[in-house]
C-alpha cells in the first residue's frame, strides 16, 4: 500500500500563511501541557497536533507543524515525524466529511472492499481523493479497532459499524441531505452484542 | 560482575552491559547495523540476533542486558538461519548498486552480506525507490540505499543536537530519512553521519566518485584546524589528500570530528606560495631567487635596530617552527614578538591561565558548567557535543550558565551579554547550585579573553571559582583556545616578556616598527599597517597577507612535515607527514637555518637536533600525549570594573578561520550555503 495523498505535505499555494492557536485552543493546549513534567514537554505533542488539526478544518499545514514545534521547543522534524506516522493526521486538505474505510483483514472478510469501491462510485472520487465541492474525501485506513462490528467506516470523529451496501448508501445520502444520522451500528444491534444465534433459539 | 556463557565458554563480564558488548569483550563478532557504541540503542535492524537458552525465539543482543548464568549461542543453526533471513529482508529494497556506490569496499552491508547472507534473493516484486534529498554541500544522499538503521537520526539528536535534525518520516515501507522540508544539514559536526551510515545512503559530496578505499595511503595524524587536536586519518593518493576521517580517541574526540577538520583539506593545494617574491618599485610582486631574498633579509635586519623589528607567528604553526623562529630572534636580540594576533589575555609564566585545566575528559566528571564569552559550538564543536552529552545524561541536575548570548546546543541559563552580567552568578537564586557543586567547570572563551576588560573578567571568574571550589584535586578553571598553535607558542614563550601589556598589534599599526616579520600570521588587519613598514611574509598560503607583503617566503604546510602541536588541554601531540613539500619549498626551520648562516648564528643539523634542543628548554613537550597538570595560583585583585561592551566570539564564520580553510572551495560553499544572514568574508 502506498501513502495516500493526505499524508503528503500540501502544495505551497494552498498552505496558509500563518497559524496560531485561537483563544479556546490555547487554554486547552496549556491545560494539556500541565499534565506532563516540565522537562518532558514534548510528550504532549500528539494532543496538540490534533487540536491544531481540528482548528484547521481537519488538516495540518506546515505553519501548524512549525507552530507546535515552537510551542514545545523541539525541532520541527520531530513534529513532522509524528504527523506523518499516524494516519489520523492529515497533511493536506480533506473534505467536510472525511470518510475512512477500514480494509484490514476482519473488515475485508466482511466485505469492506465492496464498500470502498461503492463509496468511490457514489462519491465520484478515487481513494485518496477529495470531491470538487470539498464535501467528501475518501481514504483507506488500517485497522480502526472495532473488528467485532466489521465492516466499519469512520467519518470525522465517529464510527459507523455493521455496514452493508444499503446502509452505506443511506448513510451517505443522509450526510448529503444534512439529515440526522445514527452513530455506531447501522444494523440495529446494540453496541457489539451477540447476533441472535441458534444457541439463543435452543434456550 | 556476572558470569555468562558465550558459545559454551564461561566469561565474567561487567554487570549492566548488553549481550553484544559482552560478546565484543569476549572477542566474538556479532554483525550489526543499527547498534553503535556511542549512540543510544535502537534495536531495529535485527542483524545482531543470537540464540539464548530458554528462549524459543532469537534475541536482539544489542538490546538484551546480561544476566547471571545466561547461555548465549552465536553460531548455532538458529542464529545462522536468523541472520540469513534478516539479511535477505534488508536487501529486499536495497538497490545492489555496489559498483557505482561510493561506500563500496568499506560498506558494512556489503561485508556482512558476504559473510552472513544467503547469496541469493527470492524477492521478485518491485523494489522500493526513494527520492534523494538535498542536504547541503557536504552530504550526498542516495536514499534508496537506506536500510533505516537510524544511526544518523540518533547522532543528530544525541551528539550534534542542532536545530536542524534528521528524522524518519512516514512509516513502514514509506519511511524516509530527511530533515524538515529538506533543509541543509548546517550543524558543525554533520560530516560524521557519513562515517556512521553503514551503507552508501549518506556519503561525502566532495569525495564523490573520487577513489576506492583500497587505493588510498592512510596516514594517522592530528587535526590543526582548531585547538582540540582531534585524532584523524588522512587518506591520500599520489600526493593528493582525498579525504579526512576521524580516529577513535576517547580522551579527545571520541570518534567524531568537526566539518572543518573533515572538509577543509582541499584548501591545502589551492593558492600555495611556492616561490620567493619581492615587491618591486612599481608595487608589483616579482619572482626572486632564494639567494637574493636571503641577502635582502640579512641587509634589512642588520641595518635596522633590534627594537625596530617586530615579529608575529601564525595560529596554526607547529612548535618546531615557533621554537626555531624564537631562537633566531632571541639571538638577534629582537624582543618585540608575539603569537597573539588577537591580543588574547593570559598570565605570563602561569600555564593554568591559558589551557583547559579540567581536560576534555574532565567534562564527563563535572557537575556544573559556566561558559564565559564563548560560542563553544563554533569554537570547539567537539567540546560542545561533550557538554551536550553530559547534559543529556542528567538533564535535571546538570546546570549550564552562559555569559554571552550565543546559540548553543544544550539548555543554558543566559545571564547576559556584557561582562557585568558576571555578577549575576553570585545572585542568591544561584547560590544553591554553586554550593551543591563538587566539580564545577568554568570555560572562558576568547570572547572574554580578547575583550577590553579581559583581565577583570579573568580575575573575577578566578575569584569566584576559588570561592566555590572545595575540592583540591579538581581543577575546573578552563580557558578555551581556538587555534592549534597558540598553546604551543605560549608554552615556548613566544611573547614579549618585557612588555606584557596587550599593545604590540597597536604599536605595529602605529608604525613603531620598520620591519615586520610575519611567520604565517595573517589574522591582523593589513590595511592598518603603515606603508613605510617593510613586511616580510613567511607562509604557505596566498591569503590576506600577500596583498600587503613586500617580501614573500614560501614554507611547507602542516601536512608536509612532522610537527609537535600542543592542544588546548596542554597535551603535546605529533602530526605526521602525509606528503613531501612542493619542489623548492623549505621547511620553516631550514630556511631560518640558511638565514642564520648569514648572521653567523647557531644552526640545527637536522630536525631531530632541533627537537632535542627544544626539549632541553621545554621538557614537557617531549612527553607526547601526556598532560602536565597545572595548579591555580591565588589572585589578589578584588575590585573589578566592567564596561558594557558585549562579548563576541572571535570566530564569526566557523568554516573559515585560517589561511587554509579560507582557500578551501568546500568551506566557501558551506559559508555561502549556511551563513546567509551573517556577513561572509
Q: What is B623-661 written as a DSSP string?
A: STT-----PPPP---------SPPP--S-S-TT--SHHH
Q: Which pLDDT band, with edges at 50, 70 and 90, does B239 fall under?
A: confident
Residues on chain A touching B171 (C-beta within 8 angstroms) = 84-85
Query: Is B169's CB within 8 Å of A81's CB?
Result: yes
Q: How far is A100 from chain B (nearest CA, A)?
A: 18
Query: Is B180's CB within 8 Å of A39's CB?
Result: no
Residues on chain B touching A81 (C-beta within 8 angstroms) = 167-169
ipTM of the complex as predicted: 0.85
Q: Are strands B399-403 and B413-416 parallel, antiparallel or unpaired?
A: parallel
Q: How far is A116 from chain B (nearest CA, A)?
A: 23
Query: Is A84's CB within 8 Å of B170's CB?
Result: yes
B324-342 per-position pLDDT tens digit: 999 999 999 998 899 988 8
Residue B525 CB-half CA count within 13 A: 10
Q: Which pLDDT band, with edges at 50, 70 and 90, does B436 fall under?
A: confident
A185 forms beta bridges with A161
Q: Which pLDDT band, with edges at 50, 70 and 90, does A197 fall under?
A: low
pLDDT at B423: 86
Residues on chain B touching A74 (C-beta within 8 angstroms) = none
Q: How far is A99 from chain B (nearest CA, A)?
A: 21
When scoring A77, A78, A79, A91 by the number of chain B Cβ atoms within 10 A, the one with the most, hence best to mutate, is A77
pLDDT at B680: 43
Q: How far is B542 from chain A (nearest CA, A)?
A: 41
Residues on chain A touching B167 (C-beta within 8 angstroms) = 75, 77-78, 80-81
Please indicate if any CB of chain B lies within 8 Å of the CB of A16.
Answer: no
Contact B263, B245 (CB under 8 A): no
Q: Is residue A40 classed exposed, middle or buried when 0-12, 13-18 and 19+ CB atoms within 10 A define those classes?
A: exposed
pLDDT at B416: 86
Beta strand extents in A52-167 (DSSP E only): 97-102, 136-141, 153-155, 158-161
Mean pLDDT (chain B) is: 90
pLDDT at residue B645 greater than cutoff 80? yes
The alpha carbon of residue B628 and the mean position of all alpha carbons in its chain are separated, in whole angstroms, by 21
> What is the rounded CA–CA span in Å between residue B300 and residue B308?
11
Mean pLDDT of the region B531-559: 91
Contact B678, B485 (CB under 8 A): no
Q: Which of B263, B266, B264 is nearest to B241 (CA)?
A: B266
Q: Which pLDDT band, with edges at 50, 70 and 90, does B223 fall under?
A: very high
pLDDT at residue A78 greater than cutoff 60? yes
A156-191 per-position pLDDT tens digit: 889 999 999 999 999 999 988 888 888 888 888 888
Contact residues, B window 386-405, toward A, CB-based 8 Å cutoff: 395-396
Q: Is B310 helix (H, G, I), strand (E, B) or coil?
A: strand
Q: Tell me the whole-structure pTM to 2 decimals.
A: 0.90
User: What is the DSSP secondary structure assignment for residue B159, as one 8-state letter?
Assistant: I
Share of residues in chain B with pLDDT > 70 (%) = 99
Q: Which pLDDT band, with edges at 50, 70 and 90, does B584 fall under?
A: confident
Residue B238 in grid coordinates: 599520489
Share of residues in chain A with pLDDT > 90 (%) = 59
Q: Which of B620, B312, B354, B359 is nearest to B487 (CA)?
A: B354
Q: How far is B536 from chain A (nearest CA, A)?
A: 50
Query: Is A3's CB within 8 Å of B174's CB?
Result: yes
Q: Which of B570, B568, B576 is nearest to B626 (CA)?
A: B570
Query: Is A75's CB within 8 Å of B169's CB?
Result: no
| Least confident stretch, A22-26, B182-186, B214-218, B441-445 | B182-186
Mean pLDDT (chain A) is: 88
> What is the rounded CA–CA span in Å between residue B265 and residue B680?
20
Residues on chain A touching B165 (C-beta within 8 angstroms) = 75, 77-78
Contact B287, B277 (CB under 8 A): yes
Query: Is A75's CB within 8 Å of B181's CB?
Result: no
Q: Are strands B534-539 and B176-179 parallel, antiparallel or unpaired?
A: unpaired
Which residue does chain B place closest to A8, by CA atoms? B170
Contact residues, A window 35-64, toward B, CB-based 8 Å cutoff: 39, 62
Q: Which of B297, B612, B298, B639 is nearest to B459 (CA)?
A: B639
pLDDT at residue B522 greater than cutoff 90? no
The alpha carbon of residue B526 and the mean position of all alpha carbons in its chain are separated, in whole angstroms, by 28
Please indicate if any CB of chain B lies within 8 Å of the CB of A15.
Answer: no
Q: How far is A60 from chain B (nearest CA, A)?
A: 14
Please indicate if any CB of chain B lies within 8 Å of the CB of A3.
Answer: yes
Q: How far is A73 from chain B (nearest CA, A)?
A: 10
pLDDT at residue B419 greater than cutoff 90? no
Query: Is A85's CB within 8 Å of B181's CB?
Result: no
pLDDT at residue B101 greater than cutoff 90? yes
Residues on chain B touching A76 (C-beta within 8 angstroms) = 180-181
Q: How far is B135 from chain A (nearest CA, A)?
A: 14
A6-63 per-position pLDDT tens digit: 888 888 888 999 999 999 999 999 999 999 988 788 899 999 999 999 999 899 999 9
Q: How far is B170 from chain A (nearest CA, A)?
A: 5
Residues on chain B touching A39 (C-beta within 8 angstroms) = 395-396
* A81: nearest CB among B167, B181, B395: B167
Please indicate if any CB of chain A lies within 8 Å of the CB of B125.
Answer: no
Q: Which pLDDT band, with edges at 50, 70 and 90, does A1 fall under?
A: very low
Q: Which pLDDT band, with edges at 50, 70 and 90, does B133 fall under?
A: very high
| Least confident stretch, A56-60, A188-192, B158-162, B418-422 | A188-192
Share of residues in chain B with pLDDT > 90 (%) = 65
Contact B530, B286 (CB under 8 A): no
> What is the rounded CA–CA span in Å between residue B3 and residue B14?
9
Locus of grid cell 613539500: B581
Query: Is A77's CB within 8 Å of B174's CB?
Result: no
Q: Which of B518, B533, B526, B534 is nearest to B588 (CA)?
A: B518
Q: Which of B317, B292, B338 is nearest to B561 (CA)?
A: B317
Contact pairs from chain A to chain B, CB under 8 Å: 38
Cβ count within 10 A of residue B54: 6
pLDDT at residue B313 greater than cutoff 50? yes
User: What is the DSSP secondary structure assignment for residue B395, as one 8-state letter?
Assistant: T
Mean pLDDT of the region B360-389: 92
Query: Is A3's CB within 8 Å of B170's CB?
Result: yes
pLDDT at B499: 65
Amino acid at each position: 500500500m502506498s501513502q495516500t495523498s493526505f499524508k503528503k505535505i500540501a502544495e505551497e499555494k494552498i498552505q496558509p500563511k500563518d497559524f496560531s492557536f485561537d483563544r479556546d485552543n490555547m487554554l486547552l493546549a496549556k491545560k494539556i501541557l500541565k499534565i506532563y513534567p516540565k522537562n518532558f514537554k514534548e510528550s504532549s505533542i500528539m494532543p496538540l497536533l490534533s487540536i491544531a488539526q481540528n482548528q484547521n478544518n481537519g488538516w495540518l499545514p506546515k505553519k501548524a507543524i512549525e507552530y507546535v514545534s515552537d510551542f514545545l521547543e523541539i525541532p520541527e522534524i520531530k513534529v513532522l515525524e509524528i504527523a506523518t506516522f499516524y494516519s489520523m493526521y492529515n497533511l493536506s486538505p480533506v473534505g467536510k466529511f472525511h470518510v475512512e474505510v477500514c480494509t484490514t483483514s476482519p473488515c475485508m472478510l466482511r466485505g469492506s472492499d465492496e464498500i470502498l469501491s461503492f463509496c468511490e462510485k457514489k462519491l465520484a472520487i478515487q481513494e485518496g481523493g477529495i470531491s470538487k465541492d470539498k464535501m467528501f474525501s475518501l481514504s483507506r485506513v488500517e485497522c480502526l479497532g472495532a473488528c467485532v462490528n466489521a465492516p466499519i467506516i469512520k467519518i470525522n470523529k465517529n464510527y459507523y459499524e455493521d455496514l452493508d451496501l444499503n446502509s452505506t448508501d443511506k448513510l451517505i445520502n443522509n450526510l448529503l441531505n444534512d439529515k440526522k444520522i445514527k452513530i455506531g451500528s447501522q444494523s440495529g444491534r446494540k453496541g457489539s452484542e451477540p447476533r441472535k444465534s441458534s444457541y439463543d433459539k435452543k434456550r | 560482575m556476572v558470569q555468562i556463557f558465550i558459545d559454551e565458554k564461561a566469561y565474567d563480564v561487567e554487570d549492566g552491559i548488553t549481550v553484544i558488548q559482552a560478546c565484543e569483550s569476549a572477542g566474538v563478532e556479532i554483525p550489526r547495523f543499527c547498534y553503535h557504541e556511542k549512540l543510544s540503542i535502537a534495536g531495529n535492524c535485527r542483524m545482531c540476533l543470537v540464540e539464548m537458552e530458554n528462549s524459543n525465539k532469537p534475541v536482539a543482543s544489542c538490546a538484551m542486558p546480561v544476566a547471571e548464568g545466561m547461555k548465549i549461542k552465536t553460531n548455532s543453526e538458529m542464529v545462522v538461519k536468523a541472520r540469513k533471513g534478516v539479511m535477505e529482508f534488508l536487501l529486499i529494497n536495497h538497490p545492489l548498486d555496489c559498483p557505482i556506490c561510493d561506500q563500496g569496499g568499506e560498506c558494512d552491508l556489503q561485508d556482512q552480506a558476504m559473510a552472513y547472507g544467503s547469496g541469493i534473493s527470492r524477492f521478485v516484486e518491485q523494489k522500493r525507490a526513494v527520492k534523494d534529498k538535498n542536504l547541503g554541500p557536504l552530504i550526498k544522499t542516495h536514499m534508496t540505499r537506506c536500510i533505516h538503521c537510524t544511526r544518523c537520526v540518533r547522532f543528530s539528536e544525541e551528539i550534534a543536537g542542532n536545530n536542524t535534525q534528521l528524522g524518519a518520516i512516514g512509516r513502514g515501507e514509506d519511511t524516509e530519512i530527511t530533515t524538515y522540508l529538506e533543509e541543509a544539514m548546517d550543524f558543525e559536526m554533520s560530516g560524521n553521519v557519513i562515517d556512521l551510515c553503514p551503507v552508501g545512503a549518506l556519503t561525502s559530496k566532495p569525495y564523490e566518485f573520487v577513489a576506492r578505499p583500497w587505493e588510498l595511503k592512510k596516514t594517522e595524524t592530528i587535526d590543526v584546524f582548531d585547538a582540540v587536536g582531534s585524532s584523524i586519518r588522512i587518506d591520500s593518493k599520489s600526493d593528493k589528500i582525498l579525504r579526512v576521517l576521524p580516529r577513535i580517541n576517547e580522551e579527545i574526540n571520541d570518534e567524531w570530528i568537526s566539518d572543518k577538520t573533515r572538509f577543509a583539506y582541499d584548501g591545502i593545494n589551492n593558492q600555495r606560495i611556492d616561490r620567493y617574491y619581492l615587491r618591486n618599485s612599481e608595487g608589483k610582486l616579482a619572482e626572486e631567487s632564494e639567494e637574493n631574498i636571503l641577502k635582502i633579509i640579512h641587509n634589512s635586519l642588520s641595518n635596522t635596530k633590534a627594537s625596530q623589528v617586530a615579529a608575529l607567528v601564525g595560529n596554526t604553526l607547529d612548535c618546531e617552527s615557533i621554537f626555531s623562529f624564537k631562537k633566531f630572534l632571541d639571538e638577534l636580540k629582537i624582543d618585540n614578538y608575539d603569537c597573539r594576533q588577537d591580543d588574547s589575555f593570559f598570565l605570563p609564566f602561569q600555564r593554568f591561565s591559558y589551557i583547559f585545566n579540567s581536560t576534555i575528559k574532565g567534562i564527563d566528571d563535572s557537575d556544573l558548567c559556566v561558559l564565559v564569552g564563548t560560542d563553544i559550538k563554533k569554537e570547539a564543536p567537539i567540546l560542545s557535543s561533550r557538554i551536550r552529552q553530559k547534559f543529556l545524561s542528567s538533564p535535571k541536575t546538570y546546570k549550564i550558565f552562559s555569559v554571552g548570548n550565543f546559540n548553543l546546543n544544550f539548555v543554558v541559563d543566559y545571564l547576559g551579554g556584557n561582562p557585568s552580567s558576571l555578577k549575576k552568578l553570585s545572585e542568591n537564586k544561584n547560590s544553591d547550585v554553586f554550593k551543591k557543586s563538587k566539580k564545577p567547570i568554568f570555560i572562558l572563551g576568547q570572547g572574554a579573553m580578547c575583550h577590553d576588560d579581559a583581565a577583570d573578567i579573568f580575575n573575577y571568574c578566578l575569584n569566584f571559582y576559588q570561592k566555590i571550589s572545595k575540592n583540591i584535586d579538581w581543577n575546573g578553571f578552563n580557558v578555551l583556545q581556538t587555534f592549534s598553535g597558540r598553546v604551543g607558542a605560549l608554552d615556548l614563550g613566544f611573547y614579549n616578556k618585557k612588555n606584557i601589556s596587550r599593545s604590540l598589534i597597536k604599536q605595529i599599526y602605529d608604525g613603531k616598527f620598520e620591519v615586520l616579520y610575519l611567520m604565517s600570521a595573517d589574522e591582523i588587519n593589513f590595511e592598518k599597517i603603515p606603508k613605510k613598514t617593510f613586511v616580510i611574509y613567511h607562509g604557505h598560503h596566498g591569503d590576506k597577507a600577500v596583498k600587503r607583503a613586500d617580501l614573500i617566503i614560501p614554507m611547507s604546510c602542516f601536512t608536509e612535515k612532522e610537527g609537535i602541536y600542543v592542544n588546548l588541554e596542554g597535551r603535546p601531540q605529533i602530526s605526521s607527514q602525509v606528503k613531501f613539500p612542493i619542489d623548492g619549498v623549505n621547511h620553516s626551520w631550514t630556511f631560518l637555518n640558511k638565514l642564520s648562516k648569514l648572521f653567523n648564528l647557531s644552526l640545527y643539523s637536522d630536525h631531530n637536533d632541533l627537537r632535542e634542543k627544544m626539549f632541553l628548554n621545554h621538557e614537557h613537550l617531549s612527553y607526547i600525549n601526556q598532560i602536565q597538570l597545572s595548579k591555580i595560583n591565588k589572585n589578589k585583585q578584588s575590585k573589578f570594573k566592567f564596561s558594557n561592551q558585549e562579548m563576541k566570539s572571535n570566530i564569526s564564520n566557523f568554516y573559515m578561520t585560517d589561511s587554509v580553510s579560507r582557500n578551501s572551495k568546500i568551506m566557501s560553499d558551506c559559508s555561502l550555503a549556511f551563513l546567509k544572514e551573517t556577513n561572509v568574508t
